[in-house]
Amino acid sequence: MNTPDLILQKEVLRRRTFAIISHPDAGKTTLTEKLLLYGGAIHLAGAVKAKANQRHTTSDWMALERQRGISISTSVLQFEYGGHQINLLDTPGHRDFSEDTYRTLTAADAAVMLIDAAKGVEPQTRKLFEVCRMRGIPIFTFMNKLDRPSREPFDLMDELEKVLGIRSCSISWPIGMGDRFKGVYDRQTQEVLLFQKEGEANVKGKLQAKKFGGIDDPALTELMGEEAARVKSELELVELAGDPFDRERVRACELTPVFFGSAMNNFGVQHFLERFIEMAPAPFARKTAGGSVEAAIEPTRKGFSGFIFKIQANMDPQHRDRVAFLRVCSGRFYRNVAARHARLEKDVKLSKPLQFFARERVLIDEAWPGDIVGLLDTSGELRIGDTLYESDGGKGEVIRYEGVPRFPTEHFAAVMILDPMKRKQLKKGLDQLSEEGVVQVYSQPGLGDKDPVLGAVGALQFEVLQHRLKAEYGVDARIEKLPYLHARWLDGTGIDYFKNREDSRLLEDRDANPVVLFKTDWSLRWAEDNCKDVKFLKTAPLK
In a domain, 406, yes or no: no
String of DSSP letters for 62-83? SHHHHHHTS--S-EEEEEEETT
Residue 58 is predicted with a pLDDT of 46
Given a cut of 70, the residues of the chain with pLDDT beneath it are 1-4, 40-74, 92-98, 197-209, 291, 315-320, 357-359, 392-395, 405-406, 448, 541-543
Count CB atoms within 10 A of the CB of residue 319: 10
Q: β-strand 372-376 against 255-260: which pairing, if any? A: unpaired
In a domain, 424, yes or no: yes
Instruction: State whether 378 and 421 are in the same domain.
Output: no
In a domain, 233, yes or no: yes
What is the tens place of the pLDDT at every residue in 123-168?
Answer: 888 888 988 888 899 999 999 999 999 999 999 999 999 999 999 9
- Number of folded domains that form the chain: 3
Instruction: State whether 420 and 314 are in the same domain.
Output: no
Residue 160 is predicted with a pLDDT of 96
Instruction: State whether 379 and 416 are in the same domain.
Output: no
In a domain, 446, yes or no: yes
Instruction: State whether 129 and 222 are in the same domain.
Output: yes
In a domain, 294, yes or no: no
Q: Are 94 and 26 in contact (CB under 8 A)?
A: no
In a domain, 27, yes or no: yes
Instruction: State whether 173 and 242 are in the same domain.
Output: yes
We report the CATH number of the domain holding residue 442 as 3.30.70.3280
Instruction: State whether 356 and 445 are in the same domain.
Output: no
Listed residues 261, 279, 297: the one ending a domain: 279
Residue 51 is predicted with a pLDDT of 34
Domain that holds residue 332: 305-389
Instruction: State whether 383 and 495 are in the same domain.
Output: no
In a domain, 543, yes or no: no
In a domain, 241, yes or no: yes
Listed residues 354, 389, 424: the one ending a domain: 389
Instruction: State whether 154 and 21 are in the same domain.
Output: yes
We report the CATH number of the domain holding residue 150 as 3.40.50.300
Residue 198 is predicted with a pLDDT of 52
Residue 335 is predicted with a pLDDT of 94
We report the CATH number of the domain holding residue 353 as 2.40.30.10
CA distance 199 to 177: 20
Listed residues 264, 279, 294: the one ending a domain: 279
Instruction: State whether 269 and 330 are in the same domain.
Output: no
Residue 152 is predicted with a pLDDT of 94
Instruction: State whether 516 and 380 are in the same domain.
Output: no
Contacts by 504-508, CB closer than 8 A, 24 or more apart: 505/453, 506/445, 507/442, 507/443, 507/444, 507/445, 507/453, 508/442, 508/443, 508/445
Residue 319 is predicted with a pLDDT of 57
CA distance 291 to 340: 12
Q: Are 517 and 504 in contact (CB under 8 A)?
A: yes
Instruction: State whether 378 and 444 are in the same domain.
Output: no
Instruction: State whether 314 and 257 are in the same domain.
Output: no
Nearest to 351, CA basis, from 365, 330, 369: 365
